[in-house]
């Protein structure tokens, strides 16, 4: 795992020469006293000679403030921001004991709040403070948001509910959390987490959702569809979006891998890279300096994934997907929840099952299904090939026929399963996969649920031999399953070592002295219809989608859209209005079907068009396409 404040630098890096940033600064180090007398090591970087009053960017980190790079400092001070970097309690030069963010929120100790108050009391602070950071620094930021308000925050790839998003998603223990604590030399916290395997008052101290009514800070939430904390990013934005000052950006990234096109086994186009510097300065300058940067014109921006070239040698043939979309609510208003039913013989389709026999497998905790990709922290992550584990006898595989047309989804995917088990307790793990035309199956999203927590994470309801209904969250995603691809669901009872193995005994967490082999069954008949609920988008086409056009006539196929001369863009969607943009500038608005923009703009080279469609009540979803234009 990438460590240190180097993570902060990575979050900031672009493919540019950082010699661009130029700015003198002065640095002072303080031991800032918290309310309980513990002192935290804090570096302060002031622009120029430090004689002014500045807006302040605060980074609180467990990764050693001394690792702050010169480039990161200059990126802020060159724009007139003071930078404050602090070691969290019990880490590196700070006093005390690191307790995995318990002291960073709204509890007896409130280190984030105390640090903010100290900054506000300094003459070099002009009263405006932004909190910035990702991963552990982002978690510390979310905890701070529950204790006091600041001018704004930019939080990336972070959890805001430590039970749900980090330690016990689905009620099962996330071993990534344990490994991370060991790296921080805080293994003592693992024992505490083990004692609280149900959601209780301990976890409410680390759950920002219990404090949403106290949060007034504008927050820019940035996450990745393949990030371990993807649901943390989504949940926090959705929980705060009614404040009117929140923004969400979700891309096709694993944890912190914003600047590479390869994610897992898939290779995305270059448009998948994130301009973190541009997003950061646009957000900070808007809220801290009052500049109109355009950052708030889009409430939600997300990457609609599509077919990719693969590490296994497949070459992408389609231009569908792999583009940026926008909307003003999640999921987008054109989503229609659609059920894909499980059937015998491993079939997945839209037909309701009738008289079918169930499928069973033996889950042996001593031989768990291995983790291969997915949303991980310390393990290899991302959309990785699943074919090897799909050959195991303890993995049930349900696959659609090759798609006759693309299926586009955006929103939360839920597995609704009817199950039984010979054990008192067991897990059910579900993977959503995209099967390419060459037969390779790539994991897109996954979820797990401990059966004892099927009703509530605050209590345990053990299995007693009957048939039970489970709803397993597979998480939010956005992807086009392209024509010729197949949609696949893998069901098993383990995903190790990402998650701890359920011993099937019903014992308290890690209190078992043996394992039990469980016979686990999935039902799919008229009385027990198991299905996957997909957030399928209704038609939203911009024609032409791709190809080379001269004077409005297609002369050649191409994955990219190339325009020479005039052309008509037509939108096919169920909407009341369409707005057309070129390079961010509004060009045309149409209220009548067919929605057509007669394009005759002077332009040469690479450009972006965006089309937004609206419902009658103002709900919006838009697509952004990169095109090549030769119009003179």
What does the alpha-carbon distance between residue 16 and residue 372 come to, in Å, rounded to a whole number? Answer: 34
Which CATH architecture describes the domain 335-537?
Sandwich (2.60)
Task: Give pLDDT tens digits for 38-61.
Answer: 999 999 999 999 999 999 999 999
Strand residues in 225-333 grouped as ranges (E): 247-251, 262-263, 266-267, 300-304, 309-310, 323-327
Q: Among residues 595, 550, 604, which one has the least CA distance to residue 576?
A: 595
pLDDT at 577: 96
Helix intervals (H) in 65-213 = 70-77, 111-120, 136-145, 175-183, 188-195, 201-204
The whole-number pLDDT of residue 6 equals 43
Q: Which CATH number fits domain 6-260+269-304: 1.10.287.540, 1.10.1060.10, 3.40.50.1820, 3.40.50.300?
A: 3.40.50.1820
The CATH architecture annotation of domain 540-631 reads Sandwich (2.60)
- Return the exposure string of 454-471: e unless at least 16 CB atoms fall within 10 Å of the residue's CB, then b: beebeebeebeeeebebe
Distance of alpha carbon 39 from alpha carbon 229, whole angstroms: 30
Closest to 349 in 3D by CA, of 535, 538, 537, 534: 534
The pLDDT of residue 149: 97
Which residues of the chain fall below pLDDT 70?
A: 1-22
Question: What's this model's pTM, rounded to 2 decimal places?
Answer: 0.96
Residue-range domain boundaries for the chain:
6-260+269-304, 335-537, 540-631
Report d(CA 96, CA 88) in Å as an integer. Answer: 9
Residues 331 and 475: their CA atoms lie apart, in Å, by 12
As separate numbers, helices (DSSP H) first and strands (DSSP E) second, the chain gives 10, 34
Query: What is the rounded CA–CA span in Å between residue 224 and residue 272?
Result: 11
Which helix (H) or strand (E) segment holds residue 426: the answer is: none
d(CA 26, CA 15): 27
């Amino acid at each position: 795992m990438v460590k240190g404040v180097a993570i902060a630098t990575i979050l900031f890096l672009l493919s540019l020469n950082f010699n661009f940033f130029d700015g003198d600064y002065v640095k002072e180090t303080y031991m800032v006293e918290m309310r309980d007398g513990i002192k935290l090591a804090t570096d302060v970087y002031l622009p120029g000679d430090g004689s002014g009053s500045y807006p302040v960017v605060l980074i609180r980190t467990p990764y050693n403030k001394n690792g702050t790079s010169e480039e990161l400092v200059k990126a802020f001070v060159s724009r007139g921001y003071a930078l404050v970097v602090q070691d969290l309690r019990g880490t590196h030069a700070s006093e005390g004991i690191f307790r995995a963010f318990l002291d960073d929120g709204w509890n007896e100790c409130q280190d984030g709040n105390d640090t903010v108050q100290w900054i506000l009391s300094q003459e070099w602070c002009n009263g405006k403070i932004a909190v910035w950071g990702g991963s552990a620094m982002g978690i510390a930021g979310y905890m701070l948001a529950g204790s006091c308000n600041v001018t704004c925050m930019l939080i990336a790839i972070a959890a805001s509910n430590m039970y749900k998003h980090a330690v016990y998603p689905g009620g099962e223990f996330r071993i990534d959390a344990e490994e991370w604590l060991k790296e921080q030399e805080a293994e003592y916290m693992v024992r505490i987490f083990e004692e609280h395997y149900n959601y209780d008052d301990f976890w409410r101290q680390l759950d920002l959702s219990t404090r949403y009514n106290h949060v007034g800070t504008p927050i820019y939430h940035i996450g990745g569809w393949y990030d371990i904390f993807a649901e943390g990013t989504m949940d926090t934005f959705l929980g705060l979006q009614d404040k009117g000052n929140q923004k969400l950006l979700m891309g096709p990234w694993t944890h912190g891998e914003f600047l590479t096109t390869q994610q897992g086994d898939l290779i995305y186009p270059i448009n998948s890279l994130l301009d973190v510097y541009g997003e950061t300065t646009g957000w900070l300058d808007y809220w801290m300096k009052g500049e109109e940067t355009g950052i708030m014109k889009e409430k939600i921006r997300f990457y609609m994934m599509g077919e990719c070239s693969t590490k296994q040698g497949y070459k992408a043939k389609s231009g569908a997907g792999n583009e940026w979309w926008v909307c003003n609510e999640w999921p987008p208003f054109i989503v229609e929840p659609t059920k894909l039913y499980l059937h015998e013989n491993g079939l997945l389709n839209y037909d309701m099952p009738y008289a079918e026999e169930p499928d069973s497998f033996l889950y042996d905790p001593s031989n768990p299904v291995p983790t291969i990709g997915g949303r991980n922290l310390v393990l290899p992550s991302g959309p990785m090939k699943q074919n090897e584990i799909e050959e195991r006898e303890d993995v049930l595989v349900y696959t659609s026929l090759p798609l006759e047309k693309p299926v586009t989804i955006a929103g939360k995917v839920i597995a609704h399963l009817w199950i039984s088990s010979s054990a008192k307790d067991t897990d059910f793990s579900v993977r959503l996969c995209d099967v390419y035309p060459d037969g390779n199956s790539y994991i897109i999203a996954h979820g797990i649920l401990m059966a004892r927590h099927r009703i509530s994470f605050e209590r345990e309801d053990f299995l007693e031999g009957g048939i039970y209904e489970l709803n397993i969250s597979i998480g939010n995603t956005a992807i086009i399953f392209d024509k010729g691809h197949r949609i696949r669901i893998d069901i098993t009872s383990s995903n190790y070592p990402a998650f701890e193995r359920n011993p099937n005994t019903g014992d308290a967490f890690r209190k078992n002295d043996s394992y039990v082999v469980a016979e686990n069954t999935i039902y799919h008949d008229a009385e027990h219809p198991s299905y996957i609920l997909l957030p399928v988008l209704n038609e939203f086409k911009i024609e032409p989608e791709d190809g080379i056009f001269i004077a409005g006539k297609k002369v050649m196929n191409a994955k990219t859209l190339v325009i020479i001369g005039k052309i008509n863009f037509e939108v096919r969607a169920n909407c009341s209005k369409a707005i057309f943009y070129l390079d961010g500038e509004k060009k045309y608005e149409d209220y009548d079907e067919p929605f057509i923009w007669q394009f005759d703009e002077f332009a040469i080279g690479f450009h972006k068009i965006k089309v937004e469609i609206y419902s009658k009540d103002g709900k919006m979803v838009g697509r952004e396409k990169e095109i090549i234009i030769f119009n003179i």
